[in-house]
Amino acid sequence: MATEYEIMDKVKETPLDQASRRDFLLREKGPVDSAVIVQNPFLSLYTLDFVNNEAVFVETPPEVDLCLEQFYYIAQYEHALRVIGVPIEEMVSLGRDLPLDDQKLVFIYSTGRAGSTLAGQIFAQLDGVANISEPDALTDLVAYRHFYPENKVELNDLANAVVRLMCQVKAPGGHVIKGRSFAMEIGDILYDLFPAAKIVFLYRDAKSYMFSSLRAYDDGIQRSEEEFKQFLVELRAWAETLIPLLADVPDDHWLSPTALVMYAWLSPMHQYVKLYEEGVPMLAIDYDSWLAAPRETAVAMLDYCGMAPSDLTAVYAALEQDSQAGTVLSRNAVKEHHAFLDMADPDELNDLLETQPLINTADFVAPNTLSLASG
């Protein structure tokens, strides 16, 4: 049995924060049949609350198409009308056998700041294709793996149900799921569950990633030196649950903004190389290809996924737009951000990378990269 909640207020601190049940002030209304999560097409999985053993679903208005949104988790929060909480075991039971053709499924992974939102918006232009861009339930699965590494069977069951529930939306042309950069850390699990799905990985060189990330994620809050140190401590504590390579760094080892960004880039890169060497078929696309040959890059990506349309007009139109327009990460929104950017240290970045055994240069080229930058 599930529980229906009335949303009394929305209290999320910043739009980019990881989705949480605490984003809402809720008032319990009463029990409802858990089957509502597979019967109501306007309910979507928002987050997995492992503390309260509850899968949190939000209902959004019929006129809001979450598959056209740049950031699924932000749109869910902004448009949420009510909340349904379902015991996680019941969510798994209801989701495990939902139909899903993984031959029409695409997973987009990335380092972040590498054109993945643009890639998702390209797929969103295709008739009959559902683009699910950054559902935070995948982020929750990464955190679950961090906290409960021994629960492999449970994690597989969770991941299977989560993906199938997200893909309930009718899409005869297929489903495209683009996680946040952290989702690469469960790429092995999703491949085992859905081996016929196509996998695309987008990345850019570490140096430009550092500058882009520090500019984009500057929250604009003025802090004293001590306040900023505390901010970094809290940021690291959260990030360690989602970035395995960062979690391996001793707690007493101070990490600067440049170091934190380096691990955020390195961890998904490391996971991609590991999976590729294990034989997982994937296509990598470097960011410079989007800049130098956007149309050719888009077509190559769609061809690889078996989704290239005969008419590319809408795809080409999407390439002319700011894929993050209207969000806190739009070009206009971040162009004046300098506080974090001023802390970027390319020399420190290179020194840190030189200590790494696998990927130790900022311009590392991932295997099986589609690179059209020179063409």
In a 3-state reduction of DSSP, which class is residue 200?
A: strand
Same domain? For 60 and 147 the reply is: no
Instruction: Reply yes or no on whether the pLDDT at 375 is more than 50.
Output: no
Rounded average pLDDT over 48-66: 98
Helix (H) or strand (E) run with residue 226 in it? helix 225-239
Write the pLDDT tens digit of every residue in 157-215. Answer: 999 999 999 999 999 999 999 999 999 999 999 999 999 999 999 999 999 999 999 98
Query: Which CATH number covers residue 248?
Result: 3.40.50.300
- Whether the pLDDT of residue 6 is over 80: the answer is yes
pTM beyond 0.75, yes or no: yes
Same domain? 314 vs 202? yes
The answer on 355 and 241 residing in a single domain is yes
Q: Among 95, 120, 154, identify where a domain stops.
A: 95
Residues 89 and 103 in one domain: no
Angle between helical axes of 152-166 and 136-147 (0-180°, round to 10)? 180
DSSP assigned state of 366: P
Domain span holding position 192: 99-375
Mean pLDDT of the chain: 95
The answer, yes or no, to whether residue 222 has pLDDT greater than 90, is: no
95, 128, 149: which is the final residue of a domain?
95
Amino acid at 248: D
In angstroms, what CA-CA distances link 108 with 111, 184, 202, 307? 11, 9, 8, 14
Last residue of one domain, picked from the residues 42, 63, 95: 95
The verdict on 44 and 116 lying in the same domain is no
Number of domains, the chain? 2
For 273-314, write each residue's pLDDT tens digit.
999 999 999 999 999 999 999 999 999 999 999 999 999 999
153 plus 279 within the same structural domain: yes
Taking alpha carbons only, the member of 138, 30, 139, 45 closest to residue 90 is 45
> Quick one: 361 and 276 in the same domain?
yes
Quick one: what percent of the chain has pLDDT higher than 90? 89
| Sheet with 105-110: strands ordered across | 129-133, 174-178, 105-110, 198-203, 283-286, 369-370
Select from 240, 264, 266 the least CA-distant residue to 251: 240
CB 349 within 8 A of CB 210: yes
